[in-house]
Amino acid sequence: MELLPQPMISPLILLVICYFYLGTAIDCGGNNIAKTITIDKFGRGGAFRSIQAGIDSIQSNNDQWVKIHINAGVYIEKVSIPYDKPCIILEGEGSRHTVIIHGDTRTATSWEATFTSSPPNVIVSGIAFKLQNTFNLVGGQLPGVTAKIEVAVAAVVAGDKSSFFNCAFQGYQDTLIAAIGRHYFKDCYIQGEVDFIAGAGQSYFENCTISVTQAKGRPPGFITAQSRASSNDPDGFVFEGGSVDGIGVVNLGRAWGPYSRVIFHKTYFSSVVIPEGWNSWNFYGQEGKITYAEVDCIGPGANNVNRVPWKKNMTPSQLQEFSKSSFINKDGWLDNIPIKY
């Protein structure tokens, strides 16, 4: 994860404006689904052949839940939900059966992700998002793949009240960008090595599998690169349960912002987690502003004896601030979505 180059600032400001403009005004008509669209890569039954075509067919400023059911198959395309199309459900047939693949790398001016979701009120279930050019570099070079390990993004989530169930995100560096807004990830699989969960999202990961895929000869990687910029910002990453496993060695995170905040609670750490655990990166000497905590974690990688001395300890009352209900669901939005979690 590199610090954002100057050309990235304007697009991010636009996302913030769209987030505040749309985030609180739409409830999508409760938990009723007004319409269902079907995607089938072969166009059977008159269905759309591409996922993007299905999204494009939805009217702008949609205010009712529209479900897009994606039949099993490998869809080689870049998928984007624009900021003016909230209230969309993308439903696959399981992350092993409904797969979206694309191969762009990140440029100086955009993330170029396989999947980008910009509006509020988006639900995704049972889909895998993969990178054609980098997601399976570990273990040797693939035919036709450049020898250079490129920064490529599987998914960018930039909308408030976004939820993901039983999804897979497979990449190497910057796999999942939780850019801004409140996000809920449940029973998801997230793979990578360097900063592969990053951004300024207010994101809660429940029972997710974090898989480290360190390439041979590479230095220890980083699971998170959380970019909280101010002590007043509500964002941070919370991992409840789940596991960290895989190949090689990795830090739990490094600071992409001066007030970076990441909490693991009751998570299983395999031996891939290095003893130091955390890295302040460009904020060396400012560690007092950073909130990195591990509470009631287990496994061989959870031994805190050699952790960085500035890792935070949390009381039960402090930890309560980072429960699902307190951290992302104070207004009950998760209780009103048309998916039982």
Domains observed in the chain = 1-149 (no CATH), 193-334 (2.160.20.10)
d(CA 329, CA 203): 11
The pLDDT of residue 340 = 83
84 is catalytic: no
Residue of 160, 187, 195, 235 with catalytic role: 195
The pLDDT of residue 270 = 98
pLDDT tens digits for range 220-262: 999 999 999 999 999 999 999 999 999 999 999 999 999 999 9
Residue 278 in this model has a pLDDT that exceeds 90: yes
The pLDDT of residue 143 = 44
Asked if 228 and 260 touch (Cβ cutoff 8 Å), the reply is yes
Residue 25 in this model has a pLDDT that exceeds 70: no
Percentage of the chain exceeding pLDDT 70: 84
d(CA 341, CA 332): 13
pLDDT category of residue 27 using cuts at 50, 70 and 90? confident
pLDDT tens digits for range 178-188: 999 999 999 99
Average pLDDT over residues 76-93: 97
Residue 309 in this model has a pLDDT that exceeds 80: yes
Q: Under DSSP, is residue 203 helix (H, G, I), strand (E, B) or coil? A: strand
Residue of 160, 174, 187, 235 with catalytic role: 174
174 is catalytic: yes
Of 101, 100, 121, nearest in space to 26 by CA: 121
The pLDDT of residue 117 = 98
Q: Which residues of 7-27 are buried (b: 16+ CB within 10 A; e: fewer)?
A: ebeeeeeebeebbeebbeebb
Asked if 88 and 58 touch (Cβ cutoff 8 Å), the reply is yes
Asked if 328 and 322 touch (Cβ cutoff 8 Å), the reply is no
The pLDDT of residue 150 = 61
Average pLDDT across the chain, whole number: 88
Least confident range of 53-62, 106-115, 117-126: 106-115
d(CA 229, CA 221): 22
Helix (H) or strand (E) holding 16: helix 9-22
Residue 196 in this model has a pLDDT that exceeds 60: yes
pLDDT category of residue 16 using cuts at 50, 70 and 90? very low
Record the pTM.
0.89
The pLDDT of residue 304 = 86
d(CA 226, CA 231): 13
pLDDT category of residue 149 using cuts at 50, 70 and 90? low
The pLDDT of residue 253 = 98
* Residue appearing with tokens 């399976």: 136
